[in-house]
Chains A and B, each alone.
Chain A
Amino acid sequence: MIELQQLCRSFQVGDQCVHALDHLDLKIARGEYLSVMGPSGSGKSTLLNMLGLLDKPSAGEYWLNQTATSQLNEEALATLRRQYIGFVFQSYHLIPRLTARENIELPLILAGIAPKQRRPLVDKVITRLALTDRASHAPNQLSGGQRQRVAIGRAIVMKPELLLADEPTGNLDSVSGREVIELLEELNDEGITLLVVTHDQAIGDRARRELKMIDGRIASDSANQTISSIGS
């Protein structure tokens, strides 16, 4: 489903060139559950933004469902994001003036789906996330865990294939953090490809495939280790 080939992303900071992603190769199959860990500044978020088509590579190629994305224009990238990708952010990124329900509904609205067709989709997600009695609340009336559940609802309402979560539990206490992770894992069980960036070793260990990043490279990949350990 995803293939990165020699992907680079560098930032010019002053007269210095920072290689946030340094000739990265990565393949992700449909339905995988990955965690990405590594020290601060190792390029985790940059990788996630790249996979989410929010950022463009400086060099290399990113194949998403057999489509080479590096040459696509903004419009085409937006369409791919809309169709295939859902995001969950550490800081939720909910729109404060909209209710929980409206936040979840937003992607459908932006996609131009008719209100009649939107309602059952949103209802299903709200029920699924046990947010029924919070649906009409504004984000600032919700707890952190509830906000992140709303954000997850918004991420999955378009039924994406890929769910990208950048430190989804970073702002949560351990209990609601665990709930959120369990929810994401349930979604993964249902078939969605899940990639979680985290600093929490316990959460990282839950993933079936663990990536460790250092200095813009993948220092270790549990998938390859298994392969190499078999080989050795």
Chain B
Amino acid sequence: MNREQNSRTSILNYIIALAVIFALNFILPRMMPGDPLHAIYGDEALVAMTPQMEASLIREFALDRSWTDQLLAYVINLLHCDLGFSYYYRTQVSSVIMGALPWTLLLTGLALIIATALGIILGIESGWQRGATLDRCLVAGLMFLSGFPDFFVGIILLLIFGVSLNMAPLSGAVTPYAGLKGLDYLLDALMHLILPLASLVAVQLGAVYLLTRNTIVTLLGESFILTARAKGCSDLCIKYSHAGRNCLLPVTTATGLRIPHLFTGALFIEIIFSYPGLGSLLNSALDARDYPLIQGILLIVTIAVLTANLLVDLLYKRLDPRVKYAH
């Protein structure tokens, strides 16, 4: 199979997965007993709703018409990025989500990059000097750390650095009503980001680190390392450009597999730090039983996870020449 075909099939796989999710989103509420509007919005919302609103919603979803018309309306709504109406926030679900999504992406994206990069570097260094003090401390420390659940690390950090030492803000993503601009705004956001980010990284780091370290230990026994040393390559070059490059392959695969875990971790962390991302949003949506919002968030998170996986897949193919040309 050649390269294009290969990536085409994997993209196709993702499209199918997405289609299944959209289909479920459409079918499930309509299969519930009773009135679909009920199922979509929940009792409380309907109580608060005026009859006009109800009528306009029924029109929008084409609930009074045939099954095919409903599907068509659903697809058209999706194409318009219309995920329904959040009665709790009294605005479109999509715009509520759009307000929270960047914060979550910022948090998870940075956590992913930092945890992976740091894990790889620590893993390489510690695998290189296997058995030395540094190696043993790192193995023990990071194994210990990654044994905790995310929220636990979050709470500990919050208590130590936020409450006791008062070094970082306790909640939120920016200081409200401070009217900060430019660089100050950035710094402020960063200060708010540090603790949640640190907790996410701390929990994610262990897995990357251990995998890298063990891969490096095996790779260092391979003959191409000896070949490189015989060429006169420096330790740095052998560590990073030969062993390091080869260990990216298993690390990338593992990262792809860990992305869902990263997202769920982020949801909890956000709640702890009242970070205004999807996690907190989901929390309040659950409190208010804002069904359309809950559904929208789950849909977005799923899409985000799938997209991230697709990216990892494509990255892997760039990294390993053997996959492209595998027969």
Q: Do A and B come from one complex?
A: no
Which residues of B come within 8 Å of A, CB atoms?
none
